[in-house]
Amino acid sequence: MKLLKIAACLCVLTSFACSPKYYKPNTQQITMFEEEGDINLTGSSDGARFEAQAAYAITDQFAAAVNYSRFVPVEVNDGDGGSGYIFEVAPGYYTDVGDNMIFEAYAQLGFGRFENSFSSLDPNGNQGQIMANAFRFGIQPSLAYKQDKFAVALSSRFASLNYANIEGALSFDGVDQIAFLEENKNNFIIEPAATFLFGFEKFKLQAQYSLSFNVSNNDFPRDRQLLSIGINADLNVNEF
């Protein structure tokens, strides 16, 4: 059976052998701010995407964050492949809740697009394409324990995932994928995650593992977990 790959907005539709996948979670942004002027920067990847995250503590309680994920253009057997991206903005709130303990919550709005080609399914080029816009909005609370050289956080994303402007012509395993995505274009997802940071006071290695649950449709084709690795910088504007 041929290996197919598809990259999607908010996700890369990774390699599959039996069916396409239409969602994969991206790395959750954990800032662990302590005071006004704090800056948090992260670059991470899971091998199928590259992510850049930035956040700034506007006051001693409120912050703003942005997140961009670009899914690596993929081309496999017979020209099958795809690419996609997501851009998110997120206002947030943070507070100290005890010794080295920080609570934060971000309201997130993300949008993007995916484009995919499955030319091997139709040598004449009349079938085998799907493309769409996607939107995700929700909230992400987290609780973190932070020291100079180590930090750990537990978080969860609660979000509505929606597809629009679905175009193309793709039939897979006897199912019209355009019609399928139209019928399942509105989803509610819950994504718990654990984030670990090790290193120095200002710069640390970051690892995050998360799960993805589609409450609306448990059979919705998706990646059910994510492991990403990256570098995190924890700075303050007064240091410049």
Give the tens place of pLDDT for each residue, 33-57: 999 999 999 999 998 889 999 999 9
Half-sphere exposure at residue 235, Cβ-oriented, CA atoms within 13 angstroms: 14
Residue 125 located in a structural domain: yes
Residue 27 located in a structural domain: no
Question: What's the pLDDT band for 69 if we cut at 50, 70, 90?
Answer: very high
Cα separation, 40 vs 32, in Å, equals: 8
Report the CATH number that the domain containing residue 212 is assigned in CATH. 2.40.128
Task: Tell me the mean pLDDT in the region 123-136.
Answer: 76
Domain limits for position 65: 38-239
Residue 3 located in a structural domain: no
Counting the structural domains of the chain, the total is 1
Residue 120 located in a structural domain: yes
pTM here is 0.86
User: Above 50 in pLDDT, residue 8?
Assistant: no
